[in-house]
């Protein structure tokens, strides 16, 4: 089974990214991939790893010692495959199921604030890539999302959105995956989505299924601090509830390099990563 899935992921090929700056001051240009070697030297600190294998009492534990747990809200629930003939979870035996109607999970505070370098990642499979924009992960402020990873209905593609200020009408940086469409096969493994923000390099990088084909650099006007907890399955600002399955949620302070992102995208949980 995994051989078939692994072949599908390899078939995605290189991921092309485009950077849309809207009203953002400054310029953007494609950066030489050699810059990633400098960024990889930034020390990493894992703030959260939620494998979503269980949620006793509605609380999904954090593997990271003293890390914040995820609290399930609405009708969110953890699916656990107890039958070898049953539907497989996205990774290992369990995953988070959301119906898109007021369901989400969240930490009580932000595991990473966004005022410095950070890495966020999750595997997600939408129930349907339809006419509803749906957010997989977000870090909210009071009036805007510091960052959101979402399915954009207008384009039918995955994208990352960064608000340059904590204001409702703030300019946004948008990074869109241009080639592979979201995998909404109900028997598939979805897509692994990872965002790296490298503050010293002024780089925002979006990886899909462990692949990065292009890196864009913009003037750094986005280093404000998120004030709310990590949201899984919604934007606390705009709603945009996610209907589908989420697994393997991770948060790091610092910059994960391409090798580490590739390891995160594996179809086996890696608690020591």
Residues 8-55 have pLDDT tens digits of 333 333 333 333 333 333 333 333 333 444 444 458 999 999 999 999
Residue 181 has pLDDT above 60, yes or no: yes
Q: Is the full-model pTM beyond 0.75?
A: yes
pLDDT of the residue at 216: 47
pLDDT tens figures, 109-164 = 999 998 899 999 999 999 999 999 999 999 999 999 999 999 999 999 999 999 99
Name residues whose C-beta falls within 8 Å of residue 233's C-beta, 6 or more positions apart in sequence: 76, 96, 98, 103, 104, 105, 135, 136, 241, 242, 246
- Beta strands in 33-116, from DSSP E residues, in sequence order: 45-50, 59-60, 70-73, 77-80, 94-99, 104-106
| Higher-scoring residue by pLDDT: 78, 5 | 78
Instruction: Report CA 65 to chain centroid distance, whole Å.
Output: 22
pLDDT of the residue at 221: 57
């Amino acid at each position: 089974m995994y051989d078939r899935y692994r072949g599908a992921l390899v078939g995605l090929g290189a991921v092309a990214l485009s950077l849309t700056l809207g009203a953002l001051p400054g310029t953007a240009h494609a950066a030489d991939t050699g810059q990633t070697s400098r960024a990889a030297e930034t020390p990493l600190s894992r703030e959260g790893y939620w494998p979503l294998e269980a949620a006793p009492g509605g609380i999904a534990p954090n593997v990271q010692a003293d890390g914040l747990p995820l609290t399930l809200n609405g009708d969110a629930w953890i699916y656990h495959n107890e039958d070898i003939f049953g539907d497989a979870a996205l990774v290992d035996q369990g995953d988070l199921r959301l119906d898109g109607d007021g369901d989400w999970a969240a930490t009580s505070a932000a595991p990473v604030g966004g005022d410095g370098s950070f890495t966020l990642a999750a595997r997600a499979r939408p129930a349907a890539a339809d006419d509803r924009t749906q957010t997989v992960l977000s870090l909210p402020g009071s009036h805007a999302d510091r960052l959101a990873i979402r399915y954009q209905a207008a384009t039918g593609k995955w994208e990352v959105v960064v608000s340059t200020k904590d204001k409702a009408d703030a300019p946004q940086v948008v990074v869109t995956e241009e080639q592979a469409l979201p995998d909404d096969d109900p028997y598939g493994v979805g897509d692994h989505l990872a965002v790296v923000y490298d503050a010293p390099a002024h780089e925002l990088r979006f990886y899909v299924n462990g692949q990065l084909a292009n890196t864009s650099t913009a003037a750094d006007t986005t280093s404000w601090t998120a004030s709310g907890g990590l949201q899984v399955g919604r934007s606390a600002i705009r709603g945009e509830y996610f209907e589908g399955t989420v697994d393997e949620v991770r948060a790091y302070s610092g910059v994960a390099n391409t090798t580490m992102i590739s390891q995160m995208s594996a179809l086996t949980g890696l608690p020591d990563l």
